[in-house]
Amino acid sequence: MLDWVIQMEYLGVFELDDEINETLKLMFEENKILSEYPQSEERDIFYFHMIYKLLKDGQVEKCVLQEMMNQASKKLLKAMPSNEYYTRLTKHLLYDCDYTEWLNKNMNPSSSFTLLGLFEPIKEIERRIIQQNGC
């Protein structure tokens, strides 16, 4: 549900209030996503989306996000088709690597999210995230 809320904000459907933003930030800072929920592709993709939202809103400093991702990255999307995609998207946003062309060609790589890739709003969210830091 929280991932859906983040996606709707990216589309401009609504703006999240301070309470929801603070909840997302606390969940991230206290590492509740990775420590309290069983590993799944959905959980890991939500974690990535939360990182992108916190970066976009400037709620957490980039260096803090980089440090958290360095610690978490080995636990995320193990043996999943979306691993390389989200790894590159994160490097694109956090480490100033320009993967715009590759990301646009390989959008929505996950087998479990293939159906979502058929819907234009999800593609638009991915485009916005990619272009957020594109050169």
Residue 52 resides in a domain: yes
pLDDT of residue 116 exceeding 60, the answer is no
Residue 80 resides in a domain: yes
Cα dihedral sign for 11, 4, 67, 86? negative
Higher pLDDT: 113 or 49? It is 49
The first and second tokens of residue 3, run together, are 């991932």
* Res 9: pLDDT: 86
pLDDT in tens, 47-86: 888 888 898 888 899 999 999 999 898 889 888 888 888 8
Helix, strand, coil fractions of the chain, as percent rounded to 5: 65, 0, 35
- Give me the domain span that covers residue 70: 2-8+18-131
Other beta carbons within 10 Å of 132: 14
What share of the chain in percent tops pLDDT 90? 12
Number of separate domains in the chain: 1
* Res 108: pLDDT: 65
Region 15-20 average pLDDT = 88
* Res 118: pLDDT: 53
pTM of the model: 0.80
Residue 59 resides in a domain: yes
Residue 37 resides in a domain: yes
The first and second tokens of residue 58, run together, are 């400037």
Residue 87 resides in a domain: yes
pLDDT of residue 36 exceeding 50, the answer is yes
Residue 13 resides in a domain: no
**Could you report how far apart the first and last alpha carbons of the chain are, in Å?**
32
pLDDT band at 110 (very low <50, low <70, confident <90, very high): low
